[in-house]
């Protein structure tokens, strides 16, 4: 049996022991097939003394057998290729090595266009992306693709190695031209820390030792740079996020139920107050346990067990956070998605979505655009994403998720998409925009000093006293479709039976709350937003709010629904599907006639569009108002709003 012992280039035995406090750097490599990526990885492994004696003997023997005049260190990565071929990994092979100063986790991500998904996988957790460029070929489409992916997944540091400098006579001009071209492209990306190093991976120039053949380069060699990149400040230690992975049942002698998981952000300290999302229950951390014993505090990405002072109903998929610093709760997400399946994604596609430790179903509501990664052009006419395409999608989930912007937290700001039928991972998403209260956070003008104040009376107490739950019934349809008639009949029906209900009529609201709004698309959106918030307050108070608005756009109504989902309030959308001809025949205000004569513009159904709901709870086509009321009341009873 062969004994494997690490050796260095001089045949010395084991390297010095790794310091316990040495930090870890996660690296994702990228480069085209012939850019020398395997050789560079082999050189790093060899020069950092991570090559075992039998491995080196095997490589030397293979090199001699192939007639090579040198030891081909690229062969050291053959084992990784074999792993990929056997499907042991998900197309990304990981190699671990260390120096006395730092530990490294290196994700070997293939660089060919067909493996874009692989680089996304490897780079999603990387601290640094290592991109190789062949000095003879310069910046290629693949180089741009790799830089774009690194920017997309938020890799904090990027190191560009211009390789094969020995084949361009170690020319400074060649290196500078490549640097300038890359910087021109990268200026359009969100890359903050980019370093350039000219190297020859084959000969080891500027890999571990400074090259004597490129004295014009005054920077550090690659390994030194990797050892000294500052990554501690990249971690988010402010926003406490602890997704619960597993609930450990209490046993005799321990401190009660434990909640196991990996810290996604923030610092957990014993004695800190925490809040459980989504329940809103609060407690205090009683203990933090790790595989090495109890801790007073823990930081990401540590895996720990947290026990609380109070017995709460906490389940897998819940999240612990600070009471005054909660993640956003939303059913609507806008995200950059890398599509990984041969079957394209289109609007309406239904998928499973995994966010931290929680699974929900999701529907693709819109494909905003597809990105040409070479030109960064946004194709807003794209109707699908093909394999390896990257684009921005609007996604609706079956229940609210506790999320953060990906730029703030790469764990709670990302998700994967899984095919329901095959269980294959088909997409990876980075949340770019949060939509809460019907308004994206990017659009919100709310001052950060404005906070929500909880009252002394809980919703449950209020609803229990009233003997009913609050909810919103949202009627939409063309002008004169009969919404107001149904809304009025529903209000009378409920109130006459002792139920608390109130009608929010679109016209009535424009006499006051929405009196300053016109009928442009922007004003209509604001009209819906304000009405939705009023309805939400009514519903929260235990009233059945009945909103009757034309609300012609799907996105506005979806935002109204999302604002209710955020507070876990029921939202019943009723589509009064009356044909345009019938609406015009009724025309109680004469607006259609005026629009036909050209006396007014912006009339929904005439010169402004109406977007029918995609999946309303109730569709009313013909029949009497009483029949429509009966259908709505039945739905309210099914939801447990009323008995």
Rounded distance, CA 560 to CA 576, Å?
Answer: 17
Instruction: Supply the DSSP string of 388-443, one letter for each residue.
Output: T-EEEEEEEEEEEEEE--TTT-TTTTEEEEE-TTT--EEEEEEEEEEEETTEETTT
In this structure, is the dihedral angle defined by the CA atoms of residues 584, 589, 594 and 599, taken in order, positive or negative? negative
Instruction: Supply the DSSP string of 137-203, one letter for each residue.
Output: T-S-HHHHHHHHHHHHTT-SEEEEEEE-GGGGTT-HHHHHHHHHHHHHHHTTS----EEEEE-BTTT
- Number of Cβ atoms within 10 Å of the Cβ of 224: 18
Residue 515, class by beta-carbon neighbours within 10 Å (0-12 exposed, 13-18 middle, 19+ buried)? exposed
- Number of Cβ atoms within 10 Å of the Cβ of 249: 8
Stated as kind and residue range, the H or E segment containing 574 is strand 570-576
Helix extents (H) in 243-347: none
The residue from 48, 124, 484, 551 that is catalytic is 551
CA dihedral in degrees (303, 308, 311, 315; nearest 10)? -20
- Rounded to 5 degrees, φ, ψ at 290 are -125, 170
Q: Are 57 and 136 in contact (CB under 8 A)?
A: no
Nearest in space to 509 (alpha carbons), one of 529, 539, 482, 489: 529
262 dihedral zone (left: phi>0; alpha: psi -120 to 50; beta): beta
Rounded distance, CA 335 to CA 405, Å?
Answer: 10
Rounded distance, CA 54 to CA 64, Å?
Answer: 15
Q: What is the maximum alpha-carbon separation in the chain? A: 95
Nearest in space to 137 (alpha carbons), one of 184, 96, 178, 81: 178
Q: What b-and-e string marks burial along 93-102, b requiring 16 or more CB atoms within 10 Å of the CB? A: bebebbbeeb
Residue 574 bridge partners (DSSP): 475, 618
Whether the ω angle into residue 196 lies within 30 degrees of 0, i.e. cis, is no
Instruction: Supply the DSSP string of 48-88, one letter for each residue.
Output: TT--BHHHHHHHHHHHHHTT-SS--GGGGGHHHHHHHHTTS
Residue 183, class by beta-carbon neighbours within 10 Å (0-12 exposed, 13-18 middle, 19+ buried)? middle
Q: Are 575 and 483 in contact (CB under 8 A)?
A: no
Residue 628, class by beta-carbon neighbours within 10 Å (0-12 exposed, 13-18 middle, 19+ buried)? buried
* 551: annotated active-site residue: yes
Q: What are the residue numbers of the active site?
A: 551
């Amino acid at each position: 049996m062969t004994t494997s012992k690490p050796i260095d280039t001089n045949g010395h035995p084991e390297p010095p022991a790794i310091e316990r406090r040495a930090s870890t750097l996660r690296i994702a490599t990228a480069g085209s097939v012939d850019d020398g990526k395997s050789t560079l990885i082999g050189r790093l492994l060899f020069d950092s003394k991570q090559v075992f004696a039998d491995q080196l003997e095997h490589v030397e023997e293979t090199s001699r057998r192939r007639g090579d005049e040198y030891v081909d260190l690229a062969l050291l990565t053959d084992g990784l290729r074999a792993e990929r071929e056997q499907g042991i990994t998900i197309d990304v092979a990981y190699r671990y090595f260390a120096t006395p100063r730092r530990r490294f986790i290196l994700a070997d991500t293939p660089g060919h266009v067909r493996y874009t998904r692989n680089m996304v996988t490897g780079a999603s957790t990387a601290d640094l992306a290592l991109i190789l460029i062949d000095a003879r070929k310069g910046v290629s489409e693949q180089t741009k693709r790799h830089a774009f992916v690194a920017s997309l997944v938020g890799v904090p540091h990027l190191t560009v190695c211009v390789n094969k400098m020995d084949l361009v006579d170690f020319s400074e001009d060649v290196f500078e031209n490549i640097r300038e071209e890359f910087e021109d492209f990268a200026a359009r990306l969100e890359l903050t820390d980019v370093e350039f190093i000219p190297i020859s991976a084959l000969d080891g120039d500027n890999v571990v030792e400074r090259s004597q053949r490129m004295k014009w380069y005054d920077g550090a060699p690659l390994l030194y740079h990797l050892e000294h990149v500052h990554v501690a400040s990249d971690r988010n230690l402010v926003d406490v996020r602890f997704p619960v992975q597993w609930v450990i049942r209490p046993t005799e002698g321990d401190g009660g139920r434990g909640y196991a998981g990996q810290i996604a952000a923030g610092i957990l300290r014993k004695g800190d107050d925490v809040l459980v999302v989504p329940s809103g229950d609060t407690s205090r951390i009683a203990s933090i346990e790790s595989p090495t014993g109890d801790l007073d505090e823990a930081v990401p990405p540590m895996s720990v067990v947290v026990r609380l002072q109070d017995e709460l109903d906490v389940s897998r998929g819940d999240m612990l956070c600070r009471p005054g610093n909660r993640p956003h709760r939303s059913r609507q997400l806008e995200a950059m998605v890398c599509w990984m399946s041969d079957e394209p994604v289109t609007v309406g596609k239904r998928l499973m979505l995994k966010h931290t430790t929680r699974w929900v179903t999701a529907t693709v509501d819109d494909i905003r655009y597809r990105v040409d990664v070479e030109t960064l052009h946004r194709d807003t006419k794209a109707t699908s994403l093909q394999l390896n395409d990257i684009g921005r999608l609007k996604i609706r989930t079956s229940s609210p998720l506790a999320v953060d912007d990906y730029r703030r937290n790469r764990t709670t700001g990302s998700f994967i998409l899984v095919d329901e039928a095959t269980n294959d991972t088909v997409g990876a998403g980075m949340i770019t925009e949060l939509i809460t209260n019907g308004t994206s956070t990017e659009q919100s003008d709310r001052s950060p000093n404005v906070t929500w104040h909880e009252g002394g009376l809980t919703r449950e107490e209020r609803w229990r006293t009233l003997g009913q739950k609050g909810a919103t019934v949202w009627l939409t349809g063309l002008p004169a479709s009969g919404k107001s008639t149904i809304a009025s009949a529903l209000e009378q029906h409920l109130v006459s039976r002792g139920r608390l209900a109130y009608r929010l009529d679109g016209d009535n609201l424009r006499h006051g709350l929405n009196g300053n709004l016109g009928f442009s698309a922007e004003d209509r959106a604001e009209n819906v937003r304000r009405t939705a918030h009023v309805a939400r307050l009514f519903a929260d108070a235990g009233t059945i709010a009945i909103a009757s608005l034309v609300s012609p756009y799907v996105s506005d109504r979806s935002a109204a629904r999302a604002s209710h989902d955020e507070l876990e309030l029921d939202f019943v959308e009723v589509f009064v599907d009356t044909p345009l001809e019938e609406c015009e025949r009724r025309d109680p205000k004469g607006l259609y006639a005026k629009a036909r004569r050209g006396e007014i513009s912006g009339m929904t159904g005439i010169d402004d569009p109406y977007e029918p709901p995609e999946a309303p709870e109730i569709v009313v086509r013909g029949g009497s108002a009483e029949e429509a009321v009966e259908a709505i009341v039945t739905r309210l009873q099914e939801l447990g709003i009323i008995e």
